[in-house]
Amino acid sequence: MSFGLVATNDVANDYIVAEPFAAPEEKLGIIRIPLPGRMYDGRDVSIDIATSYEHRQMACDLINRRYSWRGYGDDHQLINRPSHTTFTVSTGSDVIGTVTLAADSDRGLSADTLFRPEIDEYRNGPDACVCELTKLAFDTNAESKHLLGALFHVVFIYGIWKHKGTDLFIEVNPRHRRFYEAMLGFSRIGELRMNESVSAPSQLMWLRVADIRQKIDAYAGMGDAAGCRSLYPFFLTSLEEATACIQLGAATLEAATRSASFPLRSQGDAIRPRAEQRG
C-alpha cells in the first residue's frame, strides 16, 4: 500500500510548550487510546497523542525512515505548536504509524507554500476552519486497513472537538492520488506543482469534514463485508467511537460536535444494530 507525502515548511527545533490535552492516561508524555480487538502481530495496539519530545522523536524517526526509503530525504521535522497534533499507532513503546493534524493559524498551513490561493477559497468561507494532514508514515509490515481506519477516525474525532474543522487538505505525490480518492473520498484541487522540500511533484487534495461523518455512519465497523474499496468500513464501530470519546477525556465532545451540525453517534446508538441506526 502506498502513502502520499505532504509539503513541509516546518522549522527544525521549533518546539513550543503547549498545554497537554486532558486524558485519563498520560504517561511519559503519551495520551493513550487503547484499541481492544485491533491487534498487530499478536500485540495490543493503541492510538497515542504525543505530548513529549521523546515520543515525537520516535514518530519523526519513523517518518524519516519511510521517507528516505522513498527518496524524499531523511531530515524531516515535526512542529510542536498548539495548532499541530501528532498521533501515533503504537504497540507498547514501538511506534508503527504516525500522522500529524495541523489546524489553521496565523502561520497558515504547510500546504499554503504551494497552494495558498486554492486553500484561501475554503479558508474564507463562513465559519470555516481549514486543516491538513501531514507526515503520514507507516511501518511496511504494519500497513493494514483496520489500523489506518482507527487512526484516521481518532484524528477526525479530535479535529472536530479541538478545532471544529470544516475542510481537510493533504498534499500527495500524484502517483498516490487514487489511494486518497478511493479510500477516503478526497478530491483533487488545483494543478500539479513541484515540491522542492521532497524533490517531487505535489497534488493538493480536499475533503469536506461533514462528508467524513456521513461515510462513518454508513460504513464504519462493517469491515470486508462492506464490499467496497474504502477505509471507512474499517473505522471504529459506534461503540469503539463512544469509548474513544470518553478516553479522550472530552466530556463536551458530543455537544461541540453537534454544534457543527453532524453529531457523533451517541452511546445509545452504539448498542443498536447498524440497520436500525440507518432507520
Q: Which neighbouring-strand residues pair with 88?
A: 48, 98
Contact yes or no for 192/203 (Cβ under 8 A): yes
Q: Which of 59, 60, 32 is nearest to 46 (CA)?
A: 32
Q: Which of 187, 229, 100, 208 is nearest to 152 (CA)?
A: 100
Helix axes 145-163, 238-247, angle to 10 degrees: 50
Q: What is the pLDDT of residue 143?
A: 64
For CA atoms 255, 261, 262, 266, the dihedral sign is positive
Q: What is the pLDDT of residue 215?
A: 97
Q: What is the pLDDT of residue 145?
A: 92
For CA atoms 237, 239, 242, 248, the dihedral sign is negative
Q: What is the pLDDT of residue 248?
A: 78
Cell of 128: 470555516
Q: For the domain 26-278, what is the CATH superfamily, name and number?
A: Gcn5-related N-acetyltransferase (GNAT) (3.40.630.30)
Cell of 18: 503547549
Question: Is the full-model pTM beyond 0.85?
Answer: no
Q: What is the pLDDT of residue 202?
A: 96
Q: What is the pLDDT of residue 119?
A: 98
Q: Which of 210, 45, 243 is nearest to 144 (CA)?
A: 45
Cell of 229: 474499496
Extract the residue ranges of the chain whose pLDDT is less than 70.
1-30, 142-143, 249-279
How far, in Å, are 15, 232, 254 from residue 148 at the CA level?
A: 27, 10, 23
Q: What is the pLDDT of residues 204-217, one digit of tens each?
A: 999 999 999 999 99
